[in-house]
Structure 1
Amino acid sequence: MSSLSLKQAEEFAKTSPGEAEQIYKQILAQNAGNNENLIRDQELALVKLGELYRDYRKPDELSSLIRSSRSFMASIVRAKTAKIVKTLIDLFSEIPDTLPLQIEICKETIDWSVQEKRIFLKQSLETRLVALYLDNKMYHDALSLINSLLKELKRLDDKMVLVEVQLLESRVCHALRNLPKSRAALTSARTSANAIYCPPLLQAALDMQSGILHAEDKDYKTAYSYFYETLEGYSSQDDPRAISALKYMLLCKIMLNLSEDVYAIINGKLALRYAGREVDAMKAIATAHKNRSLNEFETALAIYKDELGNDPIIRSHLAALYDTLLEQNLVRIIEPFSRVEISHVAEMVKLPTPQVETKLSQMILDKVFHGILDQGAGCLIVFDEPSQDLTYEAALETLKQMGNVVESLYEKAAKLT
């Protein structure tokens, strides 16, 4: 009877969600006892009701469902409990602005798993909580939980969860800009992964983090190869994160001044299935970079604000790229002048005068060119490149060689006596 009701509820889910909700609740309210068929139907009804709340954006009802279902989950097989709990908590991720509620539910469920002495469920939920802390930028809470988790996992020798936690540690340290520790955590994760069968999605996540860290070191060639592996991994599993891997691949080609390769990749067989605004955004950046056009670059950033601005990895590298592009444009503009008005330079690059003045000042300090800013007259005075006098370096080299000769003679004299 309950199987028939489940089918009815699924039919009502799209047309009459209220009726579907009532049917699912009726199935869950029945006393299953030792009736395995009914228990199986109740497990399915629990997940389906959660999906219904997700589809209709009802996070409070979903959190109430998780809380009220704990007595039922305490009565079923532990392995199934872990799967259902994680599935229900993951449903929050598709409802906007629910991170704080998701963290609260996750903490409550961890406390429940401790009471029920379900250690593996507790560790799995704590790993999920670390990921939620990372998404919510609660980095120090994440590191604190990671430290306690790592001690437990190393004691229990649970390599699979250990790899996930070490990877999360690498991501948290990267977010905190602690790159040496991020690399060390990733190396530990890869070492642990070598001892077990690593599922494709976890392997792709490891490759993604490797690519991100190589990109931080400006080693875009190696980063590209890791992102390519990531794209293949996520693509084979139809994971939506594949589009991020593709964007990072295109970013690497742009940073390597290989804009032509961007068009070839976009038209390739693997990338064609991900055609859309995300890819169009990277294509626009590649075109702007190829043309050395700040105006086109800024237009692309404005048109594709969400696609380029919401990803911290893309945002940070594009900021560096914009800075380099601005420097190149400024050097080209001031090259014919020995004295030029800053307002004229600003007009040429179509940027506010104070911004251009600040950038020119920074370039002088970085010795990109030699000159001074005459702020009273609002002018930039450019000097010729100073000629290097090699006499000083030659004298130092001569003294160094003389020192070596004297040392050698002293050693030989010591042997004679």
Structure 2
Amino acid sequence: MSSSIESSYLPATTESIAKAQEAKDASESISILYRVLQDPSSSAEALRTKELAITNLTSYLTKENRAEELRNLLTQLRPFFSLIPKAKTAKIVRGIIDAVAKIPGTSDLQISLCKEMVEWTRAEKRTFLRQRVEARLAALLLENQEYTEALTLLTGLIKEVRRLDDKLLLVDIDLLESKLHFSLRNLPKAKASLTAARTAANAIYVPPAQQGTIDLQSGILHAEEKDYKTAYSYFFEAFEAFSALEDPKAIFSLKYMLLCKIMVNQADDVAGIISSKAGLKYLGPDVDAMKAVADAYSKRSLKYFETALRDYKSQLEEDPIVHRHLSSLYDTLLEQNLCRLIEAYSRVEIVHIAEMIELPVDHVEKKLSQMILDKKFAGTLDQGAGCLVIFEETKTEEIFPATLETISNVGKVVDSLYMRASGLFAQQQSDIRSTTVLGLCPSFGISI
């Protein structure tokens, strides 16, 4: 089964498995296990031993980062799959695909492997396994930002699974579809898919990890709608679920919890959450990054904010969800600082503002221009002199808006009376025409 393997096979017995475990190094163990799989025996005992050999071999190959050999192993095991139940085949196939995923830098290999297995399962008419491999393939395509191909695959798969009413798989696919639409910035469809996932989940027992994923996606969508309090509660539920399972996703849930606290102007609570028993378990760069942002926000310091973004670039800017919300927070903080600085002036040099706020001149000029267009304050930029001219705000008498509202209401009343008068006039004209017709034709005996 491999060029490095001796031609003679070893009997598929527990002694052979023990021999592999007692080998000096991983390469020798791998060689022994390959030889065990070459045993032509198809007895029940031999098949059970081969299953154990495959599990051990997968583990050794993963530790040795031999991703290509794992792929070849999956191809070479196809004759063996015809000898064992379909459920065991599905378990082995998914186990090897999961093993490849644990090896860094194998994204393209995983996609290629899943596509190969989809073709094989179609040829073998193994629908159950094919659907799960296709769901895994869609998730990989989503991670690889191949959105069009992922959407096409999911659209066909979700119709098929709904017909079969496989609710557990349906929850996974609906969640994937929600994530995909969110990545495409289609929030209504992302919410609809998440609702479908929740509906399917309510009808069955959902494993804690899957429920945590549902809560995490719910929090992300609520945060996108600026409903940070509801988002926080969902992130908290997801954090508890993942933390109990020691799932790596727990750190992301905690990070998003801290983000929600900052976004609702409760940055002071961040230190308390981090120092709690649950928070101390996840101390590291991600938590440190959110703490730095919270400190900068508490001090209303753009300099500290930019320092945090620079020092923790991978934790903040490379996380699309955190980056999107922090960009909004940065803009708000920048606007507040600029408004506070310019309120004492009627005319001020842009260079002076940039020096006070400790930001590049072109960056400050661009932001001031945007604020003027958004009517955050009244003013204009004198680019020739390099100055900002702030206009005095004209105070509007309170009676003016009230007068306009009164005139508007009177206009509505007049329009309503006009419509009624038009209706009465039309009815009157209709009655006159009816009377005229009756007067001209008395012999017909028409009665109304």
TM-score by length of 2: 0.87
The equivalent of 1:5 in structure 2 is 16
> Per-residue deviation at 1:349?
2.2
> Per-residue deviation at 1:171?
0.2
1:237 has 2:261 as partner:
no
The equivalent of 2:32 in structure 1 is 23
> Per-residue deviation at 1:290?
0.8
* Match of residue 120, structure 1, among 109, 128, 131: 128
> Per-residue deviation at 1:129?
0.6
> Per-residue deviation at 1:350?
2.1
Separation in 2, partners of 1:88, 1:39: 18
The equivalent of 2:440 in structure 1 is none
Closer, same or farther in 2 for the Cα pair 1:66/1:409, shift >3 Å? closer
Closer, same or farther in 2 for the Cα pair 1:7/1:271, shift >3 Å? farther
> Per-residue deviation at 1:223?
0.1
Q: How does 1:285-300 map to 2 (within 5 A)?
A: 285-300=293-308
Separation in 1, partners of 2:13, 2:284: 43
The equivalent of 1:80 in structure 2 is 88
Q: How does 1:352-367 map to 2 (within 5 A)?
A: 352-367=360-375
Closer, same or farther in 2 for the Cα pair 1:296/1:150, shift >3 Å? same
Closer, same or farther in 2 for the Cα pair 1:405/1:310, shift >3 Å? closer
Does the Cα contact within 8 Å between 2:42 and 2:83 map onto a contact in 1?
Answer: no
Closer, same or farther in 2 for the Cα pair 1:318/1:406, shift >3 Å? closer
> Per-residue deviation at 1:48?
2.3
The equivalent of 1:275 in structure 2 is 283
> Per-residue deviation at 1:266?
1.0
| Structure exhibiting the larger radius of gyration computed from Cα positions | 2
Of stretches 319-328 and 48-57 in structure 1, the one that deviates more from structure 2 is 48-57
> Per-residue deviation at 1:33?
1.0
Separation in 2, partners of 1:266, 1:394: 51
Contiguous gaps of at least 5 residues in structure 1: none
1:212 has 2:220 as partner:
yes
> Per-residue deviation at 1:30?
1.2
TM-score by length of 1: 0.94
Does the Cα contact within 8 Å between 2:263 and 2:329 map onto a contact in 1?
Answer: yes
Closer, same or farther in 2 for the Cα pair 1:337/1:156, shift >3 Å? same
> Per-residue deviation at 1:150?
1.1
The equivalent of 1:200 in structure 2 is 208
Of stretches 358-367 and 346-355 in structure 1, the one that deviates more from structure 2 is 346-355
Q: How does 1:243-262 map to 2 (within 5 A)?
A: 243-262=251-270
Secondary structure in 2 matching 1:155: helix
The equivalent of 2:379 in structure 1 is 371
Separation in 2, partners of 1:145, 1:210: 23
> Per-residue deviation at 1:117?
1.1
The equivalent of 2:332 in structure 1 is 324
Amino acid at match of 2:42: G
The equivalent of 1:70 in structure 2 is 78
The share of aligned pairs that are identical, in percent, is: 52
Of stretches 266-275 and 21-30 in structure 1, the one that deviates more from structure 2 is 266-275
* Match of residue 95, structure 1, among 95, 103, 108: 103
> Per-residue deviation at 1:11?
4.8
* Match of residue 147, structure 1, among 151, 155, 159: 155
Amino acid at match of 1:134: L
Does the Cα contact within 8 Å between 2:255 and 2:286 map onto a contact in 1?
Answer: yes
> Per-residue deviation at 1:110?
0.8
Separation in 1, partners of 2:337, 2:408: 43
> Per-residue deviation at 1:74?
2.5
> Per-residue deviation at 1:8?
4.0
Amino acid at match of 2:322: I
Contiguous gaps of at least 5 residues in structure 2: 1-11, 429-448
Aligned-CA RMSD value:
2.1
Query: Could you list the per-position Cα deviations for residues 257-285 of structure 1 after superposition, in whole angstroms to 9, with x for gaps in the alignment?
Result: 11121111112222222122221111111
Separation in 1, partners of 2:359, 2:79: 63
> Per-residue deviation at 1:179?
0.7
The equivalent of 2:432 in structure 1 is none
* Match of residue 109, structure 1, among 102, 112, 117: 117
1:134 has 2:142 as partner:
yes
The equivalent of 2:4 in structure 1 is none
* Match of residue 389, structure 2, among 346, 356, 381: 381
Query: Could you list the per-position Cα deviations for residues 282-335 of structure 1 after superposition, in whole angstroms to 9, with x for gaps in the alignment?
Result: 111111111111121122222222222332111111111122222222222222
Closer, same or farther in 2 for the Cα pair 1:32/1:348, shift >3 Å? farther
Amino acid at match of 1:17: A
Of stretches 262-271 and 201-210 in structure 1, the one that deviates more from structure 2 is 262-271
The equivalent of 2:437 in structure 1 is none
Closer, same or farther in 2 for the Cα pair 1:340/1:11, shift >3 Å? farther
